[in-house]
Structure 1
Amino acid sequence: MPPAVVQQIIQGIPPSLQWPVKTCIYTTATCYVLSVVTGNVSQVDRIWTFMPTLYTAYFALLPLWPRESPMPLWPFTPQDVNSSIATQWNPRALLMFGLQFLWMCRLSYNTWRRGLFNLHDEDYRWAILRRKVPVWFFHVVNFTFIAIIQNIILFLLAVPTYIAVFEEPTSLGTSDYILGTLALVDLVLEFVADNQQYSFQTYKHTGIIETNEWPGANIQWTPADAKRGFVTRGLWAWSRHPNFLCEQSFWILMTLFPLLAPESPVFEHHVGAPWSSLLPLTPALVLCTLFFSSTIFTESISLSKYPKAYAAYQQRVAMFVPFLTPFWGLLLQLQGKKAEVDALLFGHDVKLVEEKTKAD
């Protein structure tokens, strides 16, 4: 995209947002062009692991950047930015950046070991969608949603850090320590969920239970698990998508950092405040909407592959929130179906699984 066009687009945008918005525009254009040239629309998937952290790094490290950009797309702190923000480190923003750096490391590692950084690999869901819709419609989806909307979401995930920077805290508060601890616990649980899924898929495709597993994934898989076709043990016995639950929870926590801070305008003169005070919730709400929609599509694929078993899994285990799983179990108990469903989903009798899923 010509620089003059980009410059016109960012006219009127606050100076402190111009560099990340410009980066988002160029990244979007690059992803779309590469998707068209290669025929592979997973270009955004490959940058998803680090782009939110890159945007957050820009805001958290404002005192590090020069006041003028020495070259195109080089990060800089505009002259219009308040000198206290441009020269003093923001403890809350640095904490959020540190947590997101850990998030980036976890996701990048999981993406790497699954082979998704391979330039020839494409998310299996796009291939299925491509077969289900007309060619012209898929091109529209690629341009509008895959390239543009997803890149905008990656930028929005850094907005809470931007807000935190301009609150100008002098020290961390109680809410920062609580949210930071919750975020670390969340990352650990998500890493465990990733490991359990990876361990299961390895066993399913090779029949080998790997040794020296990461903590939380040392599960003795059985032929019944492989025959069932999808993971139902460990964290996956409590949530059908514990990794998605943790991912959404992490960004909700990031959104809450500036909202729950003592300096937050939400707590100042906002009795009967306008709804605009809730706009900082937008990044988390947008991401949760994306994950919910994506999960519906993903589950439709799983249901088509394992109609009986996955339908039973949907009845027995909550989509996201694990606290609902005992409630679903109680409902099945009252219907007299719980023992049969549990045997199908969690049992180790491969003959029983074959019998119950023979139509799958």
Structure 2
Amino acid sequence: MSPLPVDDFLRAGIPPSFQWPVKFCTATTVAAFVLSVITGNVSQVDRVWTFLPTIYTAYFALLPLWPHKAPLPLWPHTPEVIHPSITQTYSPRALLMLGLVVFWMFRLSYNTWRRGLFNLHDEDYRWQIVRNKIPPWLFQVFNLVFIAFIQNVILFLLGVPAHIAAFQQPERLSTSDYILGTLAFVDVVLEFVADNQQYSFQTYKHTGAHEKNEWIGARIKWTPRDAQRGFITRGLWAWSRHPNFLCEQTFWVIITLFPLLAPESPNLSPLSSTSMTPLWSLMPALVLCSLFFSSTRFTESISLSKYPEAYSAYRQRVAMFVPLLTPVWGLLLQLRGKKAAVDEILFGQDKTGKKEE
């Protein structure tokens, strides 16, 4: 038996509406791994992280736009076998989700750009730490399996909620759409504030100067005590150790909930006839939150090694993600008689305890 061509192999057992995204995901995975081997830089996926979820979401939200046959390799197309109502009518819910994801993309792209991470020579500092801990051959296995493959699959999964919404075909937006849309918008704004506070702090820490024309929410007068501490503990970061990560996870949970809380059922979806539908619906949020939790634990281990006393106090006083838990941690420290000492380490500004406004 002769081997199947690549296109035929990708079509085998894959729903028609997933054929192009799977093909595109395969291509980006191969490209990311090959470029990482050639350049020695494994942050290839990091540079396109801000764009890939938007591409997948746009593909599903704009299914009526694409031709039935691709004029060029990797050109998005909508197979003819997909139900005619899907290929002829746009889903207002999927379009709303696309608009929110584009908004998310602009925020992340701007933050990535100003931090210089689009530089082709830049590499996430955490990859070098992993590289130093394991043999070179094992790191390449890690590079292929996790950095190139699993991360690309996760970015593909973030488009699945838009796929379900596209097949629901609602005539108009529902109450849940308006509520979730508002929450998602506010969430991205809060994440932008967290980004700005972190960027403003890092600018002061490395240059000793306050950033000019700071964004609203980041106009904090940092002090030498803040810089000496080494990490940010003011603003949103006084309530959550990772407010940006919290908002990032929350955003994709909200996107996942759009089709789940909608009054329509995806009767035309190729996934609706399988027992995997609930799993597919929840997969984007579950996988992303799992990734962020493990990644955050690793990031914190690095911070703890750099600032053992202060960061240990930070972990005792401020919740990892959920701000509502921070007062609880403070109360527990108060009962143990340690809150004043911990607060001085994290929030104190001078020897007299007077905070600069």
**1: CA distance between counterparts of 2:100 and 2:45?**
22
1:234 aligns with 2:238: no
Q: Deviations over 1:187-217 (max 9, x none)?
A: 0000000000000000000000012101100
Q: Secondary structure at the match of 1:296?
A: helix
1:256 aligns with 2:257: yes
1:59 aligns with 2:60: yes
**2: CA distance between counterparts of 1:41 and 1:351?**
47
Q: Is the 8 A contact 1:44 1:150 kept in 2?
A: yes
Matched AA of 1:330 = L
Q: Deviations over 1:41-83 (max 9, x none)?
A: 0000000001000011011111111122111111111101111
**1: CA distance between counterparts of 2:212 and 2:135?**
46
Q: Tell me how far 1:4 sits from its aligned partner.
A: 2.7
Q: Tell me how far 1:10 sits from its aligned partner.
A: 3.2
In structure 2, the residue matched to 1:358 is none
**2: CA distance between counterparts of 1:274 and 1:60?**
24
**2: CA distance between counterparts of 1:333 and 1:88?**
59
In structure 2, the residue matched to 1:166 is 167
- Going from structure 1 to structure 2, the CA distance change for 1:137 and 1:350 (only over 3 Å counts) comes to farther
In structure 1, the residue matched to 2:332 is 331
Query: Following superposition of structure 1 onto structure 2, how do residues 33-52 of structure 1 map, counting pairs within 5 Å?
Result: 33-52=34-53
Q: Deviations over 1:268-288 (max 9, x none)?
A: xxxxx9785343101100000
In structure 1, the residue matched to 2:88 is 87
Q: Secondary structure at the match of 2:80?
A: coil
Q: Secondary structure at the match of 2:5?
A: helix
In structure 1, the residue matched to 2:137 is 136
**2: CA distance between counterparts of 1:44 and 1:4?**
27
Normalising by structure 1, we get a TM-score of: 0.93
Query: Which stretch has the larger CA shift, 216-225 or 55-64?
Result: 55-64
**1: CA distance between counterparts of 2:246 and 2:329?**
18
Matched AA of 2:207 = T
**1: CA distance between counterparts of 2:134 and 2:44?**
20
**1: CA distance between counterparts of 2:122 and 2:279?**
39
Q: Tell me how far 1:13 sits from its aligned partner.
A: 0.8
Q: Is the 8 A contact 1:85 1:168 kept in 2?
A: yes
Where in structure 1 are there 5+ consecutive unaligned residues?
267-272, 353-360
Q: Tell me how far 1:264 sits from its aligned partner.
A: 3.1
Q: Is the 8 A contact 1:56 1:97 kept in 2?
A: yes
1:310 aligns with 2:311: yes
Where in structure 2 are there 5+ consecutive unaligned residues?
268-273
**1: CA distance between counterparts of 2:297 and 2:33?**
25
In structure 2, the residue matched to 1:24 is 25
**2: CA distance between counterparts of 1:134 and 1:187?**
39
Runs of 4+ in 1 over 4 A off after TM superposition: 273-276
Q: Deviations over 1:168-190 (max 9, x none)?
A: 11110000000000000100000
Q: Is the 8 A contact 1:67 1:78 kept in 2?
A: yes
Q: Tell me how far 1:351 sits from its aligned partner.
A: 9.6
1:283 aligns with 2:284: yes
In structure 1, the residue matched to 2:116 is 115
**2: CA distance between counterparts of 1:339 and 1:177?**
44
Query: Which stretch has the larger CA shift, 154-163 or 131-140?
Result: 131-140
- Going from structure 1 to structure 2, the CA distance change for 1:249 and 1:3 (only over 3 Å counts) comes to farther
Q: Tell me how far 1:258 sits from its aligned partner.
A: 0.3
